[in-house]
Amino acid sequence: MDPGSPRPFGLKLPGISNLKIPRLSRPAIDRKKALTIAGVAVAVIAVLLVGGFLVTSYLENQQVALFCGHISASEADLFLVHGRISVYMQTPADGLLAAGCDDRMREFAAIARYGRDVTAYHRQIIASDTVPEAYSGAQSAYIRALDRLNHAFSFWSSAATAYDMRDYAAANRNLAEADGAWQEYTAAVAEYDRELRAAEEGAEVPPEQ
């Protein structure tokens, strides 16, 4: 071949005429097989859809059940706290001498500490719960209730500390603050009930009175 020639005229490839183009076999799909494949595909999609729905529903139920269990545990502990408070409040202070008054205030401080610990503990658990969106309002309201109760018990503790320092005016101020926090707790509990009803009935939360 002339190296100066740009086009290789007369090029011959040996045996090219012998090449065979592979012959594609025609797919042997009959109607029965096609229907089977389509059916399987539909079945798989249906299984995935139904399974997904079931899983989602199950997980939401699990979340609600867990949330319910945590609220229940919190209420059980708060019931114990309430029992302590009731016994304390029903115990008359008449006739106590100075040491008896101090003992009584130590009991008050211990109840306040217990209430603070219980509310902080359950607040942490319930705040870490993952709940369906419908229940998030109830969850927030319950956490707020625990927070306000925790504040109320903190004020009780401060009142007991003020008593130890014989600053009765400060003790009374703290008790008044505790009453305020307690009222906020009561309001938060009412809001929780409203939110829970709305979550379960799918209704709008009625506006606060």
Partner 1 sequence: MEWKDVIPVVAGAVVILVLALVVKPALLGDPDSPGLASPVYVPPTPAPAPTPFPEDGPVYTRNFRWTAIDGGVHTTEVRIPEALFHAHRGTPRFSDYTSWGLYALADADRPILEDLARRIAPPSTNPDEGYLRLMNLVFFVQQIPYDMDDNTTSYIEGTLPRYAMYMKDGVEYPKYPVEMLVDGRGDCEDSAILMAGLFDALGYDTVLLRYSDHMALGIRMKEFNPYYAKYTPRYFMHDGQHYYYIEGTDFEKQYVSPHSIAIQGKPLAIGNAAGAGIPSVQSETPKIVPLRFVPEPGEYHIRPVRLPAEGA
Q: Which of residues 27-66 bind partner 1 (CB under 8 A)?
A: 33, 36-37, 40, 43-44, 47-48, 51, 54-55, 58-59, 61-62, 64-66
Shortest approach of partner 1 to residue 84 CB, angstroms? 6
DSSP calls for 179-190: HHHHHHHHHHHH
User: Which ranges in 18-97 belong to alpha helices (H)?
Assistant: 31-90
Q: Tell me the C-alpha distance between 195 and 188, whole Å.
A: 10
Q: Tell me the C-alpha distance between 96 and 192, whole Å.
A: 41
Judged by beta carbon, residue 1 or residue 150, the one nearer partner 1 is 150
Residues 163-202 that bind partner 1 (CB under 8 A): 163, 166-169, 171, 175, 178-179, 182-183, 185-186, 189, 192-193, 196, 199-200
Which of the stretches 9-17, 18-26, 157-165 binds partner 1 when contact is defined by CB under 8 A? 157-165
For residue 9, the 8-state DSSP code is T
Judged by beta carbon, residue 24 or residue 98, the one nearer partner 1 is 98
Q: Tell me the C-alpha distance between 88 and 112, whole Å.
A: 11
- Tell me if 113 contacts partner 1 by CB under 8 A: yes
Which of the stretches 5-13, 15-23, 159-167 binds partner 1 when contact is defined by CB under 8 A? 159-167
Judged by beta carbon, residue 71 or residue 147, the one nearer partner 1 is 71
Shortest approach of partner 1 to residue 37 CB, angstroms? 5
- Tell me if 121 contacts partner 1 by CB under 8 A: yes
Closest C-alpha to 192, from 123, 144, 133? 144
Contact predicate 152/178, CB 8 Å: yes
- Tell me if 161 contacts partner 1 by CB under 8 A: no
Contact predicate 109/101, CB 8 Å: no
- Residue 181 has φ and ψ, to the nearest 5°, of -65, -35
Residue count (the chain): 209
- Tell me if 72 contacts partner 1 by CB under 8 A: yes
Contact predicate 163/174, CB 8 Å: no
- The residue count for binding partner 1 (CB under 8 A) is 90
Task: Select the residue interacting with partner 1 from 6, 99, 206, 208 (CB under 8 A).
Answer: 99
User: How far from chain centre, in Å, is Cα 52?
Assistant: 21
Which of the stretches 3-11, 19-27, 96-104 binds partner 1 when contact is defined by CB under 8 A? 96-104
